Amino acid sequence: MSAHTWKSMIALLALVFLLSACGGGAKSDAAAQTVENYLTALVAQDADQLSTASCQAWEENALLDMDAFIGVTASLDQMACKVTGTDGDTTLVSCEGKILATYNNEQQELDLAGQTYQVVQEGGEWRVCGYR
């Protein structure tokens, strides 16, 4: 094999590797960002944004989860989400950080690490469709 052919093969392999890495990152970033948007809407009690971030099959459950925050002042503390795997067409996203919930001057911390969010593509957009 000539030196020119060898260099061309290495350049082609490097390009394929680079493009595949970029594609995965875009998927990871978008799915993780969707979960962050979902959690932000949840603690803000923003039903419209929560519905937008939820798949159609999960929307009612998401709104029920939001109802748990009625009368509670909630915020997110050091939230960071990332893709941790896949299960068929479902992308799995885990988060770090906490939800800080205050009710009657008593603050509780809800650890975000306790759930893995299921994210799917629906209508060309990433949407939260449950958790495990």
The reply to whether the predicted model has a pTM over 0.85 is no
Please give the Cα distance from 113 to 52 (Å, whole number): 23
Task: Note the pLDDT of residue 1.
Answer: 52
* Domain that includes residue 90, residue range: 3-131
CB 15 within 8 A of CB 109: no
Total domains in the fold of the chain: 1
The pLDDT tens digits for 9-23 are 333 333 333 333 334
Task: Note the pLDDT of residue 90.
Answer: 98
Task: Note the pLDDT of residue 43.
Answer: 97
Q: What's 69-92 look like in SS3?
A: CCCCEEEEEEEEEEEEEEECCEEE
The pLDDT tens digits for 64-99 are 999 999 999 999 999 999 999 999 999 999 999 999
CATH of the domain at 80: 3.10.450.100
Please give the Cα distance from 30 to 35 (Å, whole number): 9
How many whole angstroms from its chain centre is CA 36?
6
CB 127 within 8 A of CB 55: yes
The pLDDT tens digits for 28-72 are 799 999 999 999 999 999 999 999 999 999 999 999 999 999 999
